[in-house]
Structure 1
Amino acid sequence: MRNQRRFRFDLWTVVTLVSLAFFLLFLIYPLGKVFMASMLADGKMNFDNYINFFKLKYYYGALLNSFIVSGSATVLACMIGIPMAYVMSRFHIPCKGFVHILIILTLLSPPFIGAYSWILMLGNNGFITRFLGSLGIHIKSIYGLHGMIFVFALQYYPHIYLYVSGALKTIDKSLEEASESLGVHAWSRIRKVTLPLIFPTVSMGALMVFMASFSDFGTPMLLGQGLKTLAVLTYEEFVGEMGTNPGMSSTISIVLLLITTLLLFWQRRLVAKKSYAMNSMRAPEIVKLKGLPKLGAYVFTGAVVLLSLIPQATVIVTSFIKTKGPVFTSEFGFDSYREVFGRVPEAIGNTFAFSSVAIVIMVLAGMLISYVVVRKKSKLTALLDAMIMIPYVIPGTVLGISLIIAFNTPPIVMTGTWMILVVAYVIRKLPYTMRSSSAILFQLDRSVEEASISLGVPPMKTFFKTTAILMLPGVLSGAILSWVTTINELSSTVVLYHGSTATITVSIYREVVNGTYGTAAALASILSLCTIVSLIIVNKISGKRGFSV
């Protein structure tokens, strides 16, 4: 009887089994196919692809480039994000809430748009490059490893800022006061007391920056000019003009996946070695600065935010400048927008159609799965929870390639259809909705559901009429963030799309590659406007219920 109760087959069991089946089919199975493809060379199972990867400089050089770019970008992002978080958390800054929104907006914008914007300004024919050249000042263009590092650092420092800001608010003031009473000066106190206390969050933010830049496709593709990273090489080996090499592409995909997974485990092991627990009885006070420190804090904050927003401003302004081929003229107008809506309207429609379908699935699945993970704990739900987190460490190009390899032949053929894009979006972005749903579910008392069930309302009906409504604010916060990242998705889309299923991000990428910068700017502006509107909505939703974004 006890075992029968434990393994009772009800609707929640169906939810668990269907969810497991979905991830086994569309995540684990494709990754398994990629691994098998990586072991296949000349029709035989062997390690030749892996041997060639570490033997030929063409391949291991891309790995070194990826580490150089990602490592340097992470260090630079920490150098920007940690001081920014400290200033914003500890000192009085005018319009702090507005500045906070601008920083988040920087994070939610796709990095390849930032790369494109800096090409307009500091490319070989950029307007800043030309202006300085007319003055006799010749600077190095944005192309190359240094350009990738610069763009990634400005794009991803908000990861560090958000993590560190939250951690700084939980530090007990008495710890810093104790060190001050022992004669430790301000800078030494930050280095010896404050930073060690927030090390777990700094390391997690740094890991997010490293993995995001390590697996990004768009920025290295636009700024590389011959210098390749693993993400770019994976794509080129799979859809190369000189012939595809799925075996080597699969090998690079597995290497990418192993590196990101090992980094995640290394970070967790590093944090687990020490104890960082503290009693946050006295929160730090907000200090009003005076004189030179005040000026320095204002200048630093303003400069970072301004530098972060320059790409967005550049895209919007240039979208209204008329062009003659790849060259911008001195006249303004709506020609680029007319060309966009006349030539690639289907890309705009595809973006919102595919993302909308994916969001509906994510909202429903996120609510149901979070409920079984939080309320119906078992070995199966623990396995499901672990599966959902796997996409955090999978680069978009790897996921796209795995889906094509898995579903390019019968019995299930999805390659070239809009369905494969929706599946990719759901797998990659569901964790956002899932985590926000789980967070609010932990705050809901079970007694509300128990009271409804005791009155004769079936459990599933109770969920949709009571629990789901109470979960809605948190669910919508995660859903809108999933929406924003979905409409900005390029890495997986550029691998999976067919001519008729192109999206805005793919169209921007194609326009930049073809040198039609005006239409690229117009498309990027439309995407930025959608991101801003979504961010305003999510902040209003989260603000009403006290959630932070």
Structure 2
Amino acid sequence: MTASRNRHFTIWTTLTLLIMAVFVVFLLYPLVLVLYKSVVSPTSGGFSLEYFRKFFGQKYYWGTLLNSFQVTICATLLSVLLGLPIAYFTRSTKIFGRGPLEIAIIISYLSPPFIGAYAWIQLLGRQGVITKIINAVFHVKFNGIYGFAGILLVFTLQSFPLIYIYISGALKNLDNSLNEAAESLGCTGIKRVVKIIMPLIMPTILASALLVFMRVFADFGTPMLIGEGYKTIPVLIYNQFISEVGSDDGFAAALSVIVIVVTTLIFLFQKLISSRNAYSMSALKPMQPQPAKGLKNILIHLFVYLVVILAILPQVVVIYTSFLKNNGGQVFTGGYSLQSYEAIFKEGQSSAIWNTYLFGLGAIVIIIVLGIFISYLTVRKKNVITNILDTVTMFPYIIPGSVLGISFLFAFSNPPFLLGGTAIIMIISFAIRRMPYTIRSSTAILGQISPSVEEAAVSLGCTEMQAFLKVTVPMMLPGVLSGAIMSWITAISELSSSIILYGNNTQTLTVAIYTAVVRGNFGNAAAYSTILTVTSILSLILFFKLSGSKEVSV
């Protein structure tokens, strides 16, 4: 019996160490190299804080950090101001067409922010449709949404769905008897929302707001496309690392370290708030939507519909423009055509599409296999090593994609790892960066499976590993696949790391869209964006089918 236990212990310990080794090689080692390069003098090769002095010594550089904080804080606050009331209205009031509205909100969240930036260029750019109307009607010279205002618009409309998803889930678990008790004591309307409902869901509001903060702070594509003179720190990192003139790897590494420190502090702050305000609600009597009357009903519908229409508008614009005739992809000449799709499917132009699917599927295989084992080890085999593994595997959730991409190039562009520009490095980056989604969903469903099921299998003659593979894994599969689909959707929409890691033969859809927009080839950009959007929608439908749910939890 002792030998059997030692053998089982060795199997799980060995598996834990092997998985830990994978993350050491493909996550910790690259990040340590970033830290090392940030403190090495470019002249003497010794230890130096020269790059950090350079950053904090010149306003041009540290100003980008302030810009990032400014746009991130504003976008987070506006996202809460939109997401909170929409979640409350859709839960408490009968909204006509609520189902399609929720689907539209989710799609707008899953779509990459830079696609929203590109679509708003089509609408409110210097030559945008709405811009031309404004200038003609009001006889003004409106120069478009470029700069702070444009970045804020895109981030807000793309981020409030995350607030909505979280708060809607919290309201679903709210016991409506609390509302009824408040009403019986004379606390009605806005007063009841402020004094009863908001304190109960405040931990959820804060947690979702901090997630929006981290997501916006790390975004590269949107400020790069429409920021112009308004530079943020992810853009500065990219320019310092990639620029053909004046690039500086060491300075880019120092900037990456600063961003890692900021995002880590934000993450720890979120964990602190969550732990201090954690509680559970059991909705014995869930909130039921009630019909509103008169002006109140009209205003609620107008508000919800207006915000959702603005949020989904980028996807509608890119799909519509993808079918317009154009002059070489740069000027839409009127009429409808499949010209843009014909252009991207020409020889050598469609590889970005197949690369996206191939890399995404390769990453998903890795994510599912490792995700199952990691969640099992951290839930069922708790010890010091698995606790460390649990922390390390969640770390990619807070690492900006551009930083991860730079760290990978530092680590794998020289012997013995020559992976730069290859499909392997793209697949690994997708897997490492998006694995937390699957780990979280797998861990959640594993917590609902009683260990007694495995114990029963062992008592009937199965080994512990056989019980895991034949009993536990099949029971985990629905949750694992649901998380894997969310990992897939976010992986194929990844730009920040892909734009740094891709080579001539490993371009993805997001990179193709970005480069097409930069070159002014809006026809191709619209066609690529449509394919990506349709793929995300179909993946979302598959998620609903497998999970048996009509809601997305994140």
SS at match of 1:124: coil
Out of 255, 258, 269, the residue aligned to residue 258 of structure 2 is 255
2:477 aligned with 1:487: no
- Contact 1:474/1:547, CA 8 A, preserved across alignment: no
Matches within 5 A, 1:134-213: 134-138=136-140, 139-213=142-216
Distance 1:2 1:230, change over 3 A: farther
Distance 1:96 1:358, change over 3 A: same
SS at match of 1:331: strand
The letter for the 2-side match of 1:172 is D
Distance 1:547 1:232, change over 3 A: closer
Matches within 5 A, 1:464-543: 464-543=469-548
Distance 2:75 2:419 in 1: 37
The letter for the 2-side match of 1:455 is L
Give the superposition deviation at 1:445: 2.2
Show CA shifts across 1:458-489 (max 9, x none): 33233222221111111111111111111111
Alignment-derived partner of residue 312 in structure 2: 309
- Contact 1:172/1:282, CA 8 A, preserved across alignment: yes
Alignment-derived partner of residue 377 in structure 1: 382
Alignment-derived partner of residue 215 in structure 1: 218
SS at match of 1:244: coil
**How many pairs align?**
549
Distance 2:503 2:136 in 1: 44
RMSD of Structure 2 on Structure 1 (CA):
2.1
- Contact 2:207/2:274, CA 8 A, preserved across alignment: no
Q: Which deviates further from its counterpart, 442-451 or 103-112?
A: 442-451
Give the superposition deviation at 1:6: 7.2
Distance 1:455 1:276 in 2: 39
Distance 1:464 1:199 in 2: 40
2:342 aligned with 1:338: yes
The letter for the 2-side match of 1:64 is L
Out of 95, 98, 107, the residue aligned to residue 97 of structure 2 is 95
- Contact 1:473/1:545, CA 8 A, preserved across alignment: no
TM-score by length of 2: 0.95
Alignment-derived partner of residue 133 in structure 2: 131
- Contact 2:544/2:550, CA 8 A, preserved across alignment: no
Distance 2:54 2:194 in 1: 44
Alignment-derived partner of residue 30 in structure 2: 30
Alignment-derived partner of residue 15 in structure 1: 15
SS at match of 1:329: strand
2:359 aligned with 1:354: yes
Out of 275, 291, 306, the residue aligned to residue 294 of structure 2 is 291
- Contact 2:165/2:552, CA 8 A, preserved across alignment: no
The letter for the 1-side match of 2:295 is L
- Contact 1:111/1:152, CA 8 A, preserved across alignment: yes
Give the superposition deviation at 1:416: 1.6
Alignment-derived partner of residue 393 in structure 2: 388
SS at match of 2:417: coil
Distance 2:326 2:449 in 1: 56
The letter for the 2-side match of 1:183 is G
- Contact 1:257/1:394, CA 8 A, preserved across alignment: yes
Distance 1:184 1:321, change over 3 A: same
- Contact 2:106/2:552, CA 8 A, preserved across alignment: no
The letter for the 2-side match of 1:99 is L
The letter for the 1-side match of 2:434 is K
Distance 2:77 2:62 in 1: 22
2:430 aligned with 1:425: yes
Distance 2:206 2:187 in 1: 25
The letter for the 1-side match of 2:299 is G
SS at match of 2:386: helix
Distance 2:471 2:5 in 1: 25
Matches within 5 A, 1:433-448: 433-448=438-453
Q: For structure 2, list consecutive stretches of 5 or more residues without a partner in the other structure.
A: none
- Contact 2:91/2:172, CA 8 A, preserved across alignment: yes
2:272 aligned with 1:264: no
- Contact 1:15/1:369, CA 8 A, preserved across alignment: no
Give the superposition deviation at 1:9: 4.1
The letter for the 1-side match of 2:309 is L
Distance 2:438 2:422 in 1: 25
Q: For structure 1, list consecutive stretches of 5 or more residues without a partner in the other structure.
A: none
- Contact 1:159/1:209, CA 8 A, preserved across alignment: yes
The letter for the 2-side match of 1:199 is M
Q: Which deviates further from its counterpart, 533-542 or 402-411?
A: 402-411
The letter for the 2-side match of 1:80 is L
- Contact 1:69/1:148, CA 8 A, preserved across alignment: yes
Give the superposition deviation at 1:31: 0.7
Distance 2:279 2:467 in 1: 40
SS at match of 1:328: strand
Out of 234, 237, 240, the residue aligned to residue 237 of structure 2 is 234
- Contact 2:146/2:227, CA 8 A, preserved across alignment: yes
SS at match of 2:461: coil
- Contact 1:121/1:128, CA 8 A, preserved across alignment: yes
Distance 1:176 1:394 in 2: 40
The letter for the 2-side match of 1:46 is S
Q: Which deviates further from its counterpart, 106-115 or 458-467?
A: 458-467
Give the superposition deviation at 1:279: 5.8
- Contact 1:197/1:276, CA 8 A, preserved across alignment: no
Distance 2:550 2:266 in 1: 35
- Contact 1:511/1:520, CA 8 A, preserved across alignment: yes
Show CA shifts across 1:371-416 (max 9, x none): 1111111111111111111011100000000111112212222112
Give the superposition deviation at 1:265: 1.6
2:451 aligned with 1:449: no
Give the superposition deviation at 1:430: 0.6
Q: Which deviates further from its counterpart, 497-506 or 179-188?
A: 179-188
SS at match of 2:505: helix
Distance 2:553 2:62 in 1: 42
The letter for the 2-side match of 1:109 is S
Distance 2:424 2:208 in 1: 33
Distance 1:62 1:545, change over 3 A: closer
Show CA shifts across 1:124-179 (max 9, x none): 11111112222244335111011101100100111100111111122333433444
- Contact 2:203/2:277, CA 8 A, preserved across alignment: no
The letter for the 1-side match of 2:354 is G
Distance 2:551 2:469 in 1: 23
The letter for the 2-side match of 1:403 is F
Distance 1:149 1:2 in 2: 62
Alignment-derived partner of residue 82 in structure 1: 84
Give the superposition deviation at 1:284: 2.6
The letter for the 1-side match of 2:92 is R
- Contact 2:112/2:494, CA 8 A, preserved across alignment: yes
Q: Which deviates further from its counterpart, 370-379 or 77-86?
A: 370-379
TM-score by length of 1: 0.96
Distance 2:553 2:488 in 1: 17
- Contact 1:115/1:151, CA 8 A, preserved across alignment: yes
Distance 1:278 1:446 in 2: 25
Show CA shifts across 1:76-121 (max 9, x none): 1011100011011111223323222211111110110000000011
Show CA shifts across 1:271-326 (max 9, x none): 54557566644433322212221112222221111111110010001001121242
SS at match of 1:489: coil
Query: Taking every aligned residue pair, what percent have the same amino acid on both sides?
Result: 45
